[in-house]
Amino acid sequence: MLVRILIVIAVISMMSLPAFAAEKLVAAILTSDLSRYRDAHRAFIKTLAQKGYDQRNVDIILQSPNPDPISWANTIRKFNAIGADLIVSYGAPATQTAMREVEEAPILFVDVYGPVEAGITRSLTTTGRNMTGVSSKVPMVTLVKALMDIRPVKTMGVLYNSREVGSVVQLKELKRVASQQGFTVVESSVSSQAGLDAALNSLLTQVDSIYVAESSLVCRSFEKIVHRASAQKVPVISQMPDASDKGALVALEVNTAEQGQIAGDYAAKILGGRKASQLPILTPHKVDLVINLRTARILDLHVNFQALSLATRVLK
């Protein structure tokens, strides 16, 4: 028993956590340290406070380990050791790790693209375990058709990461859309910076457009991808938050703050006694189809009225 107590104390010390005097402990993990997850988490904390859970009765800790399976697993194990009442996971990889490692605490996931297709939940109404969350899935066909309204597509390159389930789900969806719309997909899995450079060198000689799938690496390198592609007059499209502001010609973006707000509302319900398994998976209502006219000018593309009329936001 003494050894077990010492282990728990050591774990808490390593995580540099405060002494837990609050009634509840919420432990959150980011798949990687991306602004989309940080923005969602800020909205999560604000909403939770509005529901009556603030520093007076709940401690919230946030961990952003190295973006690899071992680091995610070690972080979740620490959450188990300190007795978290709720574990919040941002992104599909951290969520999958939590599913394997969590012993008793409910799991609340945020910003997971296609949780059913990713095998995280049975359905959007029944997860099959003590977890729930927020899906960031939006209709791929809407994004692709918006690009095709601006220019024809014959061959689309896809930058994705085969190690990230959300990225793979998006690739599969794009292939289905491609078969319906009559264009070819050239895929390239990227897991390192060197691999990204090689993938771009290859794709830019083969394709007339590029889709950037969900991935920690390509998200951090998004502006570089756009710059390289624009130099070859190749438009980039994506579903990642802020893709349009970073130069994508067309983007279909879920509102990250709304994801955090939904998660905060759910967290309050769970901390108040509701079982996570009783709460259906939700999708944010605020989804923007964004067209970047600045990028269109760089690419020497004319954006017709039909395309503009479908956009909910236009960057001039």
What single string gives the DSSP state of each residue in 98-113? HHHH-SSS-EEEEEES
- On whether both 88 and 225 belong to a single domain, the answer is no
- On whether both 192 and 281 belong to a single domain, the answer is no
- On whether both 184 and 156 belong to a single domain, the answer is yes
| Any domain includes 150 | yes
| Any domain includes 1 | no
| Any domain includes 223 | yes
| Any domain includes 3 | no
pLDDT on residue 223: 96
Distance between CA 117 and CA 173 in Å, rounded? Answer: 10
- On whether both 34 and 121 belong to a single domain, the answer is yes
What residue ranges in the chain does DSSP mark as E strands? 24-30, 58-63, 86-90, 107-112, 131-135, 155-160, 184-189, 209-212, 236-238, 250-254, 287-292, 313-315
- On whether both 100 and 214 belong to a single domain, the answer is no
- On whether both 163 and 309 belong to a single domain, the answer is yes
| Any domain includes 5 | no
| Any domain includes 93 | yes
| Any domain includes 301 | yes
pLDDT on residue 286: 93
Looking up residue 158, the CATH number of its domain turns out to be 3.40.50.2300
- On whether both 77 and 203 belong to a single domain, the answer is no
- On whether both 126 and 65 belong to a single domain, the answer is yes
Of 179, 243, 180, residue with least CA distance to 211 = 243
pLDDT on residue 76: 98
pLDDT on residue 2: 35
Domain count, the chain: 2
Q: What are phi and psi of 265, to 5 degrees?
A: -65, -45
pLDDT on residue 193: 87
Q: How far is CA 243 from CA 131, 139, 172, 203, 223, in A?
A: 29, 16, 20, 19, 9
pLDDT on residue 103: 82
Query: How does pLDDT run across 48-100, given as a tens digit for each residue?
Result: 999 999 999 999 999 999 999 999 999 999 999 999 999 999 999 999 999 99
- Full-prediction pTM beyond 0.85? yes
Residue-range definition of the domain harbouring residue 242: 140-254+288-315
- On whether both 294 and 220 belong to a single domain, the answer is yes
- On whether both 211 and 296 belong to a single domain, the answer is yes
pLDDT on residue 14: 44
| Any domain includes 248 | yes
- On whether both 171 and 292 belong to a single domain, the answer is yes
pLDDT-flagged residues of the chain (< 50): 1-20
pLDDT on residue 17: 44
- On whether both 236 and 278 belong to a single domain, the answer is no
